[in-house]
Amino acid sequence: MKPRFSLDLARPSRRHWLGYLLLAPAVLLIGLIIVYPLIVSVDISFQNVNIARLDQPRRPFTTANYERLFTSADFWNAAWVTLKLVIIVSVFCFLLGLGTALLVNNKFKGRSLARLLVALPWAVPEVIAVVIFAWMFDSSFGLMNWIFIKLGFIDTTVNWFSSPAAAFMVVCMTMIWKGYPFVSIMMLAGLQSIPEDFYNAARVDGANTWQRLVNITIPSLMPVLGVTLVLVMLWVFRDFSIIYVLTGGGPLKATQTLSIMTYEQAFGFFKMGYASAIGVVTLIICVIASRLMIGRAPDNI
């Protein structure tokens, strides 16, 4: 019997009106809530706009926002803070995530429970993670003050959120706790896709544990490693909730990343045009950095 409908999905070139029809709602919605707002934000970044209202007449075109941005000490400070944060958090997330994944990839009793637990913080909403760490680092009765005094790291209680270096450290710790389980999940999935045969062959050839790690595990993980690294860096780069609720960018702008600065300028000082310029620059950095890191194969992001 001949099919009533002439649509051969196995054929390499399968253009069909249905393909367009199915795509139409997504294109329409994405156009309305992502593309159009994006165009608006690029547009207002070239205007001197304070409070964005679309029904107001356009202001004249100006590059003043971008000129102001690149000559502003605050911008370079925020860029530096962002860079520091991205590097520190990503490195720790990576080392801890890879180590944890290798650990729970061993065969032992209760390993499914262990796998569940090591990924648990991933499921905790960011605001709740902040509540936990803000309380643990409370200046008077926080647990961490007590632990650090017991361990001899500090002599008296520290007011973590009034010292720039200490506040930056608390932000790092919160982000690492919240972010590194994601790396563990990804690495574990990567480890499980490595065929057991590779290891058996290596054992036959007399490779020790370390050689197996360096010559089989790490190279096989490289694709997942790359994608995960980019995802973690993008997350830190753009994160708003953790820093904003934990420190608000302070003290003395020590934790003010580009995202926090964008938001502050937009909704603290109502400099919407200037804020959009910072946001556009942030987006351009994100796109370029991730393209550079994963080349022309962005399928997995």
Partner 1 sequence: MKRSLLHSTFLYVAVILVCALLVFPIYWLFITAISPPDQLRVLPPRFWPEIPRWNVFGDVMSDRPILLWLGNSALAALGSVLLSMTVSVLAGYSLSRFRVRGGQSLGLFILTAKMLPATLLVIPLFGIFRTLDLIGSLWSIVLAHATLIIPFTTWMLKGYFDTIPRELEQAAMVDGCSPLGAMVRVILPVSAPGLAATALYGFVLSWSDYAYARTFLTNAQTNWTANLGITTMKGEYISNWGDISAASILVALPVLLIYLFLERYLVGGLTAGAEK
143 touches partner 1 by CB under 8 A: yes
Q: Which of 122, 215, 250, 293 is close enough to bind partner 1 by CB under 8 A? A: 122
DSSP 247-291: TTT-STTTT--HHHHHHIIIIIS--HHHHHHHHHHHHHHHHHHHH
Task: Please choose, from the candidates 173, 151, 150, 149, the residue with its C-alpha nearest in 3D space to the C-alpha of residue 161.
Answer: 173
- Rounded least distance, CB 142 to partner 1, Å: 9
Instruction: Choose between 75 and 237: whose C-beta lies nearer to partner 1.
Output: 237
For 201, other C-beta atoms within 10 Å of its C-beta total 12
Yes or no: say if 118 and 104 are a contact pair by the CB < 8 Å rule: yes
Task: Please choose, from the candidates 261, 83, 85, the residue with its C-alpha nearest in 3D space to the C-alpha of residue 170.
Answer: 85
Task: Please choose, from the candidates 160, 155, 154, 121, the residue with its C-alpha nearest in 3D space to the C-alpha of residue 137.
Answer: 160
- Rounded least distance, CB 168 to partner 1, Å: 19
Q: How many residues bind partner 1 (CB under 8 A)?
A: 108
Instruction: Choose between 69 and 130: whose C-beta lies nearer to partner 1.
Output: 130
Question: Considering only 58-66, 158-166, 211-219, 264-272, which stretch makes contact with partner 1 by CB under 8 A?
Answer: 264-272
213 touches partner 1 by CB under 8 A: no
Question: Considering only 67-75, 85-93, 113-121, 160-168, which stretch makes contact with partner 1 by CB under 8 A?
Answer: 113-121
- Rounded least distance, CB 63 to partner 1, Å: 18
Q: Is the dihedral of CA 180, 182, 183, 189 positive or negative?
A: positive
Residues 229-258 that bind partner 1 (CB under 8 A): 234, 237-238, 240-241, 244-245
Q: Which of 50, 59, 76, 125 is close enough to bind partner 1 by CB under 8 A? A: 125
Q: For residue 189, which amino acid is it?
A: A
